[in-house]
Chain A
Amino acid sequence: MMELIKLIDLKKIYSHKYNKTFALDGINLSIKQGELIAVMGPSGSGKSSLLHILGLMDSPSEGEFLLNGKSLQQIKKHKVHKTRNQMIGFVFQYFALLKDYSVIDNVTLPLMYRKSRHKERIAKAKLYLEKVGLKEHIYKKADELSGGQQQRVAIARALVGEPELILADEPTGNLDRRTGEEIIDILQQLNSEGKTIVIVTHDLEVARKCNRIIELIDGKIHTDQFTKSL
């Protein structure tokens, strides 16, 4: 399998007046295409910092980050948003939908920033909304949907740009167990179709459904276990 992400001795340091905090402290990690990874760890372990860096929302203080074999330093600062738009899809705990927008408007957003044609945007959005079982709700406002439906919209939005990597931050954290399971089933299904997915979670049940579990403690990788082969 091709290596999608490689982190080499990656550090994220927050400097205060008299001390330094290592949010990430020497992370070495390789993520291959098609992996379904759970990142676990207690609060303050560095999960969010890792997710921010993987999602190109933040830059590391030290070390190297290779995305599809290309160093982050090679991506010009004013082009980071383009790389993020083309390569990464996000699913957040609180869905992160624009509540005043319709379902279809939410889903087409990533394509809008890619300046895709209107027809193409709508066709793709409908395709992915159908995939997550929401075709009949496309013109509803986002906040008219249930939590589970909103998370499905968020997944459709993460998929619509056909990114290489999907980052999910506690995707079931705000859902009841049954709905949470449905969401994880969708993510598993997407993974089986070849998508690389990284899920940050506290939920061991969710982690067990992944083929690799990484545990972070104090900004370091404590364990990195492959639970199933790809």
Chain B
Amino acid sequence: MFRIKDALRALSIRWVISILLLVQFTYGLSTIAGTGNIFFNLHYLKINSVLDFDSTYLVVPGRITNGLQDERYTKEQVEEIYNKLKNHKDVISFGTYYADNIVLDTKTHPLDSRLIAEFTKTHVGFNDPFINTIVIDENYYRLLNLKLSSGHGFSAQDFRKNSTQEANILAGSYFKKYYKTGDLINDQYRIIGFLPDKYIVNNNTSNVYLKLDKAMILPMPEDRYNDYNLMLSRLHLTTILKLRPGANLEQLTQIIQFPGDDVKLSLRNLGEDIRHNIADNTYSEIPQMVLGLSFILFSVIGIVVTTMVSIMIRKREFGIKLALGESTLGIFSQITIENVIIGITGIGLSLVHFMWKYKRLLQFSREMNLASPLDLKMNGSILIIIFLVFMTIISISSFFVYLFLRRQELKSLIGGME
């Protein structure tokens, strides 16, 4: 305890140096928090897809200027395209989905206030809580690599219901806090299992994806599946193909393209998309990373130099303490405690700075829960990264300070008294 008291006293005496170190820690760790977030997200994108990277292809429309002209084509034509895909030698399987939002019924069902707060996404203009939902057809369900335990997945029957009937759903892991298997949401959606903490494509044209932890997956009701307009829309916007290696993409593109359609469709490989996304963000993040690494380097140098200077300035104090029976290790502990106090204060301030600087982005990330490089957050993983950086700085700088301190002779420190 007396060492902490001593350290605080010493820090207040050398307050200019303390503030300089504090500023360095604050901005440095804040930068590390930002860069850490991005690299954490890139890593998350790399390993957490429920769709296989190499075999998954997304049907992507070109610019849609006049809307989808449903009157020009027929349901039979759409079904013919799907039949051709089904029989094509390069196609392993294919499926379709659509994104939906399920508004939580808070009027007739009292819900936990934390659950309501979590799903009320004010920045998108909704005052009622809603859950991001992906509605998938039976084929798409088979495409997904969900690894659910037996009895906790959809059956063929789940895809034979219509949209007004009770439906089985798979809920994100977040819902485990409030629901258990068999519970009903809104009196209509029965939870039959929980999803892994991975992400799913929720928009073929975007390079951000939906995290499943706070989302739900619903089987597509038969009436929606067979609705021509929805079918046409799904073909253009939300069709996913699983192809064999070396598939003839040109031929497949021709199959999915309606003759004379204004909207040009193409096939994009999911893995390629994500890898490009990762590579682009990695390159653009390199300057920040260099800044972060420089911070670590300069922090180590800063602490070592300021501590050495401080030791020289405080020769008298350390000399007296050593003469009175303090050990070199004790002096080293005190210096380390001083640096740790600054570092911990710096961590606190850097978190405040980070949350102030990225306030809107953090709110957006929290509400949208999308897998994207810019999905900034302040969670346990980021705190661990910051803490590890802090520990690295303290360990390396303490090592050099200890070497320096060991070389000091008591009689020379005592000399500083006269």
Instruction: Say yes or no: is A112 at the interface (Cβ < 8 Å to chain B).
Output: yes
Inter-chain contact A94/B323, CB cutoff 8 Å: no
Known: A57-B410, A98-B317. A93 touches B418 (CB 8 A): yes
Determine if B326 and A96 form an interchain contact, defined as CB atoms under 8 angstroms apart. Answer: no
Q: Is residue A55 contacting chain B, with contact meaning CB distance below 8 A?
A: yes
Residues in A neighbouring B409, C-beta threshold 8 A = 58
B325 and A96 form a contact (CB under 8 A): no
* Alpha-carbon gap, A114 to B324, bound state (A): 10
A20, CB-defined interface residue at 8 Å? no
Chain B nearest CB from A8 CB (Å) reads: 22
List 17 additional A-B contacts (Cβ < 8 Å) besides A81-B328, A161-B325: A81-B326, A82-B325, A84-B323, A85-B325, A90-B324, A94-B417, A94-B418, A96-B316, A97-B320, A98-B317, A98-B320, A100-B9, A100-B13, A109-B320, A110-B325, A113-B324, A113-B325
Is B353's beta carbon under 8 Å from chain A? no
A217 to chain B, nearest CB (A): 21
B residues in contact with A58, CB < 8 Å:
409-411
Highest count of chain A CB atoms <10 Å: which of B319, B321, B330: B321
Q: Give me 17 A-to-B residue pairs in the complex whose CB atoms sit less than 8 angstroms apart, sorted by A's number.
A: A57-B323, A78-B329, A81-B325, A81-B327, A82-B325, A86-B325, A90-B323, A90-B324, A92-B418, A97-B320, A98-B317, A98-B320, A100-B13, A101-B9, A110-B324, A113-B325, A113-B326
Residues on B with C-beta less than 8 A from A220 are none
Cβ of A195 within 8 Å of any chain B Cβ, yes or no, is: no
Count of interface residues, chain B, beta-carbon cutoff 8 Å: 23
B418 to chain A, nearest CB (A): 6
Q: How far is B316's CA from A94's CA once the two chains are assembled, in angstroms?
A: 11
Asked if residues B411 and A113 are in contact (CB atoms below 8 Å), the reply is no
CB distance from A15 to the nearest CB of B (A): 15
Within the complex, the shortest CB–CB distance from A80 to chain B, in Å, comes to 9
CB < 8 Å neighbour of B327 from A78, A93, A96, A109: A78
In the complex the two chains form, is A84's CB within 8 Å of B325's CB?
yes
Q: In the assembly, what is the distance between CA of A39 and CA of B417, in Å? A: 20
- CB contacts under 8 Å to A, within B293-323, are 316-317, 319-323
CB of A157 within 8 A of CB of B324, answer yes
In the assembled complex, which residues on chain A have CB atoms less than 8 Å from the CB atom of B355?
Answer: none
Residue in B323, B328, B329, B410 whose CB lies within 8 Å of A96: B323
Render A74-117 as a binary contact track against B, CB cut-off 8 A, 1 for contact.
00001001101110001011101110110000000110111000
Cβ contacts under 8 Å, A228 to chain B: none
Q: Does B91 contact A (CB under 8 A)?
A: no
Within 8 Å by CB of A114, from B325, B328, B329, lies B325
B9: chain A residues within 8 A (beta carbon): 100-101
Shortest B12–chain A CB gap in Å is 9
Q: Which residue of B lies closest to A48 (CB)?
A: B411
